[in-house]
Amino acid sequence: MIVTFLLACIFFVFESQRVLGHAYVVEEYPSPNSYHQTSPHSVIIKFNSEIDENFSLVILDINNQVITSNENTKAATLNETQKEIHMKLPLLESGKYMVKYYVISLNDGHPVEGTYYFEVSTIQKGKQGNIINNPLNNEIHFNYLDFFINTMNFIYTLGLTLTIGWVLWWRKIQSFSPELIRKYRFLGFEFQMLHMVGLISIILIKLNIFSNNGVTFTTNFIFETNFGFLWFVSLLVSFIGFIFLFKNPIFDYSWILILILCRVLNGHSMEYAPIYITNLSNIAHILAAAIWISGITFIIIFWRKERLYVREFLSVFSNYAFYSIILLVITGSLLTIFYLPSLNLFHSAWSILIFIKLLLVIIILIIGLKINRMKQKELSVLSLGKWIKLDFLFMILIMIIVSLLTNINPNG
């Protein structure tokens, strides 16, 4: 376990030094919605950071017929810096054409996709860059796939957080009754199953999306890509946890460390400098969330039948919860500052969600102070239970927001 811990730390350091950020498009040619009086010779798409060598780029006509693609003609190439795709075009006739691309951020496996139109016309229609009035650009529809992905990501995030917290609280539970301990370990197994189902689902969904978008991987992608390797490690460590968790403290804490590192190295904190601060903030954020979420879940589950033990646990939990929420506010604020360095980005979906999350955390902090005051005054159990349930409800709302945030690019 000590060797595993050291290897994890070394992997963390070396990965932190060489990764860049989420890839996003900085330049497109032909530019979106532009007119061209002659056929463009090529399509060029530039990104701010490295993308994986497995990507999809397709050019279609107005009838949705493929003109050329890197999948069937290998016409597209990735330059040496892995930041620019170049595809040669055949001679295009007059008409509208669609550029459709799907790439993968090299360090964390987040997909970047886009679709836009340009027009080739031998008739003068004005300066290049005029907007093509295409009703498809304005369509808004409910995306069932995104809903399913976010649902499974919620299950994965909830399962991971509950399992980590459940293992952390295990040392405080061992002085309770044998019946409570037995049920506690059984619930720990169920939370592990929840995490495993979410993790496997996320991996399969992403691989299916890659395949549907024309991106194919060899069996070596586990060792050739950071995100493939991290998925593999997360899956392997999760399986091992079913056998060895709750038996040895060194193993338990090593298991937690590796899973958190895999989560952090596959997340937004790897994108922004200084990466040591953003990564450490993210680790502290996950640990604080795990302590608070699993603790409040324990209270909700055992409140009715094990009230004496719950009240004993509450006296310990209230202090941990208070400092955990304070840590959540501090680390969450730090990460927001690093993720959104420009005020111009505060109108994005990511920033709106992070603002709502911050408000919910502040409300929970107030509720926690209320619960602690009621506990000290030994007020009615019924009133205390209502506030704890309200705290639990806000916790679920925050977990839903977190599952959405992990799938949204802060710069998007």
**How far is residue 407 from each of residues 27, 204, 275, 301, 345, measured CA to CA in Å?**
23, 15, 20, 30, 17
- Give the model's confidence band at 5: pLDDT under 50 very low, under 70 low, under 90 confident, else very high: very low
Q: How far is CA 111 from CA 100, 101, 387, in A?
A: 13, 10, 41
Q: How many CB atoms lie within 10 A of CB 49?
A: 18
Confidence of residue 6 (pLDDT cuts 50, 70, 90): very low
Confidence tier at 404 by pLDDT (50, 70, 90): confident
CA distances (Å), origin 386, targets 161, 240, 374, 380, 390:
24, 38, 12, 10, 6
- Does 121 score more than 50 pLDDT? yes
pLDDT: is 1 or 43 the higher one? 43
Q: What is the pLDDT of residues 229-277, one digit of tens each?
A: 889 999 999 999 999 999 999 999 999 999 999 999 887 777 677 888 8
The 10s digit of each residue's pLDDT in 183-229 is 999 999 999 999 999 999 988 888 887 787 778 777 777 777 778 88
Does residue 104 contact residue 224 with C-beta atoms inside 8 Å? no
pLDDT computed for residue 251 by the predictor? 96
Mean pLDDT is highest, among 236-240, 332-336, 347-351, for: 236-240
Q: Which helix (H) or strand (E) holds 374?
A: helix 349-376
DSSP string, 177-209: -HHHHHHHHHHHHHHHHHHHHHHHHHHHHHHHH
Instruction: Give me the pLDDT at residue 130, please.
Output: 46
Percent of the chain topping pLDDT 70: 80
- Residue 412's nearest CA partner among 366, 353, 334 is 353
Q: Look at residue 408 in the predicted model and tell me its pLDDT.
A: 67
pTM for the structure as a whole: 0.76
